[in-house]
Each structure stands twice: as structure tokens, then as C-alpha cells.
Structure 1
């Protein structure tokens, strides 16, 4: 947990876990201050600026050593020195070596920057798109102007459609830009395809008519103009200097205090236990109460509630409703963000509105598909739909960017169990636990279950006795532990299991409880619950229903029909 030294003279540049890196190259942990050598400071700063991304050795050598002729050995020594300075234990490794590619900082990083009220003063003209289709070009033109107009608060003036609507050829375009001199202009084409439209966009600087951005994408007839608005808004924000919102800025917090609260919340979220998730929710809510403009706290609080619901650590309906209310607040003042769209889409999926959920998540992927969050949310969405193999692909992409994202590793472990052998499930779970997660109760309960199902009773019993405290045995964790004990002790556990099921039937998703219902109340009762879940299109049945134990029930049900 991050503890701050209340020193107003500290100018902080980056904050991660319990470290603060100041602008003058001082690394602070607790009350210890280490003045980094210039080269180590420069290398660490570059890695922190690109946290979660690979920085090549060539880039580091060029930017840090410049024209000085040095070998890779100098960089290797620098990395070794940083690892030694950052080390908090034998398992702690902040800087990864990506063999043949470079290095990557693998922890969440936040920059501290005071928000300035300075506004840019820029203008843009949006010209009617060229097309030979039945589409109403005038309506599209007006909608695009309306979509970009919302960024006027950032200092971006949009020329009205009354001025630009008749600019339909090169001569009229050049005449208008020459007279009114907007800083930028945007033009495009819409080309009909068999079952879709191809849209080509160009963003151009009026000075010298320099092309800043050129791209195209296809959208199907059913998709609304909102998708085009989101795409164009993102192009403008990413490519006009002064309006840019790069990934590092999205992780920017306006004070050291807000960063401390938020980062401690992230630490609890990634710890991912029943207790830590509830602590995370308290910390994120505290951050929102004290710093209501810190949008990152809203995202993380919503994500925390969804995790609590998914694993039965909290009343599932209350958690889902709370997450939805939080995201609705975000939509009011940041509805173009890929993360906003992604979270909203995920919640729509949880509410079984798959079509809207898919559409929103596709929009999020289109305008911000390379991010860890969006890959996580889309994989989670696919997981909820029961598309485990495809979900696994997006989870892997998420972990490539953020290897420490524990919730993703947990879901991946469950996918291995559902799609591969018990030996492979045990091996993967042990691998994940070895990655600084040895005490995680969710993963340990899964490993205990897999071992018990595989007949390795002594190992399973040792994990339950040594790795799982009574305080952490609840929800999904307790379900796994009870089933593992049943495998070892059979009928001796039946009454205890039955009591647990009756007590938790309203709080824990019923799909998680199905294996326990089958062994404590009988196959007929389990089939009755399964039929009821199917009739309700229960979303949690899609998520947990690929469990081989539930598949066996499905097969029995199919045989009776």
C-alpha cells in the first residue's frame, strides 16, 4: 500500500505501486529516497511513459545515449541496476525482458499533472462526404458536425454546416479554406459495397494542405451514424496537437493524494480477493467523493462491482445495478471514450442485451482496440456469451499489455479447465500462482478443486489448510473448497454443502452453485434449476455453464428431452 510523505515541495512525475519518481530523478519508497543516476533515470522514465508496451533496445539507446557509441551491454547494466533498486523481494520484477524485442514495465503507472485551464484556439471545417449512394449526405454532414461540436469546450471551433455544405468539389474546398482559414479540415468518401459501406477519411492541416491522417473502415447498413461520429471524434482528438488524448494522459491524475487513493484501490482490485475487492470499492468511492473529476475512479469502481457480482462475493443484482449507475454517470461527461463504451457494452451483455453490448464493444475496439482495458472487456463479454476460445484470444492480448491483471489470469485459468485436461488445468493454475499470486484465494481454491477432481487429495487438502484462511472462504472460493472436500470425504460433506446452498442461493449466481446442488440435493433438483436458468436466459449460465460438471448435467437433460 502506498504511504505518502506529506511534503509539498515534492514534484512527482510518476507513481506506481509504493514508488514515486520525482521530476529531478529521485525515487521515493516509503521514507527512503534514492537519487537515480542520469542514465537510469532516463531509461526508467521512458519505460514508465510506455508502461505495458515494449520499448525496443534501439529506441532506448538512441534516446538515452544519443550519438555516443555504446553497446547493448551499457543498457543491460542500466536495466540490472534499475531492477536491483526497484526490487522488493525475490518475486518482484517490474521490468520484463522481451527477448529479441526489448523491455517492458509491467505495472500500472500514473502520472501526476495539475490540470491547467489553458484552452487551445483551433478551428476545423468538416466538408460533405462524396458518395454515390442512397444515403442522405446532408443529414450525415449535419450529424458529424454535431458530433464534433461537443469538443468546443476544448477550444475547437467547428465551422457551421451553412458555410461548408456546398463545398462539394476541390475548387470550392480550396476557396473556402483560403478565405476562412480554418486550422484543419476533414473530408471523406462513402463507397457502397455489397452489404456495407466503405468510409474513407482524411484529416488535413490547412497550412500547406498537409495530410495528417488517412484511413478507411467498413460499416454495415444497420449501424448508426454514432459509430462514424465516434470514429471521427477519435481521429480528431488523437491527431490535432493540443487536443490529443494519448494513453499516458488517460492515466493522469491531478494530485498526489488522489493518486495515492486510486493506486491503492488498483492494488486491491488486482489482489482480487473477496476482502480486497470490497476495500477497492471503498477506496474508489472515496476518490470519487474527494476528486469527482477523476474519471479513472468511476471506471475502476464499476469494474470492481462487476467482479464482486461475478464471483458471488457480493449481492449480484445490487453489484450490477451499482456498476450500471456509475457508468451512466460517466456517459454524461465522457461518452466518446473507448473505455466508457466498453464498460457500458459489458454491462449491457450482463443484462442479456447482447446486440447492444456487441455493438458498443465493437465501437470501443474500433476507436481504441489496442488497449488493455478494451481487450479485457471484450474478452469478458465473449466469456459471458460462452465463447471461451475467442475470449481467451482477447485475454491473452490484454495480458501482453498488462501481465499483472489478476482478474484476467483467473478467467483464463477457468477457460483452460473448461477446454483442456485436468493435468493442463493444474499446470496452468500453478504457473499463474507462481507469478506473484501465491496467496490469491480464488486461484488457490481453483487449484484445490482441480487437484481433487484429479484424485490428488493430499495436495488439494494441503492447499485448503495452508493457503486459504477462513476470512477469504466465501462465494466462488467456498464453492470450490466445498466441492474439493466432497471429492475427498464424500457423504460426510453433504449436509454442510446443502446448508451453504440454501443460505447463498439468492446472492451467488445459481450457475456457480449447480455442481453443489447436484451432489447435495440430487440430480433431479439440479436439472430443475438448470431448466429454470435456461428459460430465464441466465447470463451466468453462459459464463459458468462450460464447466465439465455442468456439461454432464446438460447431457443428461438432452437425453431426457
Structure 2
């Protein structure tokens, strides 16, 4: 235990373009800055209580516990820290008559995990009244959609576990074997027509129907969006009150935007930005929406639709809004890690990515990690991360697009074949852009 700060010495913090490592080295843009011991202790206290005021008396008693220090000593420390932070000196604000406050959003790393309520487990059963291959495709699409939409808040049974029991297995037997908390059962209202579904959300403990609804339309994405909204609204305890979206219409707009981002086309990204902006008009305190805005700008940069510098600035602004709302979110930190990398802070970015990869195994984290490796011209590692991403979501369009770009660094003919086989649409990402988006 560090007696000066009363905090574990291994704690490290990321704020804006800075990284305070556990050894006390302050990094900016990959360059280390030495911080003297007293200033380091004051900085750790400020970062650990970012957003709240720390009194002068508390700082003096904690940093100088065995000395009769005066306010002048603390003032000198604050002055020195502001000088070290240079153009970010306003991050340390003086609250006259009270103390000091750190104003920039801070992400704390290496925090011991707290006990969390286990996320509910949901099983999506194979659809009835549909040819086996089509039923499995629809089941996979639903599982991917729900996993992408809710992340760690909802555990979805992988389709591979259900496939082991066969297509014709009795639903009750399947539920008893898998032991989910809830399950979705459905059928196509017209035989072998996957555009119209009838879906039921059922509680497993007593097989009580919680909600039944007809879904689907001409567009599969619209049906999946309706399904996600249904689950978000009806599944008890899915959205914790302290971090959830306060407005159901705002949540619907967010989920529709999420579906559009997943399509990864120029038009779908424009549509997504409209949906996210509408969601923020209704509720601007739901962090995932700000992450969605960042994804739109990053996607536009990847597709060559806007100037990369502007895309990075807009994405960073969005993540800066998300951080104070949900500072420990893997979703937020993964995007912060990529932006940190694209700004040239490779070491700080890798620290952030390691935290994300150790706490969650999600397709988007692996995708952003692949982009990070690609930016630093580590194409072999980028391909490994893309393989992990696609193992979670085989239809991830942006991961497929990046694979094509990486293939261009090798055999162009292989890239063309991959482009035709995996993209298979007229909206594929351009193949002639450079390797680095900076």
C-alpha cells in the first residue's frame, strides 16, 4: 500500500491523450514525463477523485502526513503539475475556498473487479415452419444481433450448443438441458418465408409467456431491430437503472442506429447518425449512443467518406461524452483505445486494449484491436484479431472490409476474390485507400 496516497501503487489512469502508468511515469503521445514524488501523489489523488472537489486539508494530510506542510507547499505542487500538463493545465481547476478538482474524464485501469449480478441467459431456439438451413441462418442472425446490442448485459446461448441436439429436438427438452433464464421461440407465419415471423419470449422456470408478437417485414434488419427492442423492453433486469436509457423511444432509435452501423455502407452510416442524433435529443446520458456516434465517424473514415482528421476529432468528442457516463465500460474503453492509437500513443492504446480483452471477448473489441495493429503496420497480428472478431460474428461487414485491405498488402488477386466472396454487395468498402488512417 502506498502510504502517501492510501491507494494501491499499481493503479494507472488514462485521461485525454495522457497515461499515468503504475510506476509513476506520465506519458503523452508515447513520450514519458518525469513527475516528482509529491506532485505524483497529488496527481494520483486528483485522478482518483476526478470530477469531485478534493479539499486542501485532505491533500495536505494525505501527501504530507508526517510533516507540518503549509498551503504554499500544495500550491507549488499544483503549479508544477499544471506546468507538466502544458496546454491541458486547465484540467486542474481551483475551487476557491474549497480545494481542487480534476475536470477531464478519467479512465482508471487495473481496478479489482467488483462482484456483479450475473447477466440473464437467453436461448434463441431454432425457428419452425422454415427449411433447416434457412432456420439456422435466421437463428444465427438473431444471436449476433442480440449479442451486439447488449454486450455483457445479456448472455446469449451460442447456436453451436443447440445444434448438438438436432433441429427436431423438443423445445422443452432443449430448455431443460441448456437451463437459460429465458428463451425465444418462433415460427415463420408463411412456410419457408423468413421475412415474416411470430415470436414468443418465455420465462424458463415455469414456461410462462412474457410476450408474443409478430415481427419482420421486407428487410431482415428491420425485423432484427424490432426483436432487439422487444427483448430490451420485456426482459426483466436487462438494463440497470443507473446506466440504462431513460427513454424507451431513445432506446429504439439507438437500436435502429446500431443495426444501420452493422451494415457498414455509406448510406447506412448516414442513416445511423440520424438515428443516434435523435436518440441523443431524447436522452443524452446513455453512453452506448455516444459510442455509436463514434462508430459512425470511424466507419466513414474507413470507407473514405470524410477527412480522417475530422473523423477522429468527432469520434474523440463523442467518446469524451461517453466516458463520464460509464467510465468502466468495455465498449467505451475499446473505442478510446483505438483513438489513442490513431493519435500516435501506441503504448497507452495497448494498455487500454489489454484491459478490454481481459474483461470481455467481444467482436467489436477484436475489430478495433485489429485496426490498432494495422495502423502500426503489424498486419499478421491484425489478421489474428480479425479472425477472432469473425469467429464471434462471421458476417461482420467492417471486419470483412479490413481483411480485404490487409489482403491488398499481399496478393491483389486474393483480395479481389475475398472482396467478391465475403462482401458480395455493391456497397463494399473501396479497395484503393492507403494502409494508414491518421
Question: Larger % of helix: which?
Answer: 1
Scaled by the length of structure 2, what TM-score is found?
Answer: 0.49
Scaled by the length of structure 1, what TM-score is found?
Answer: 0.39
- Flag the structure with larger Rg: 1
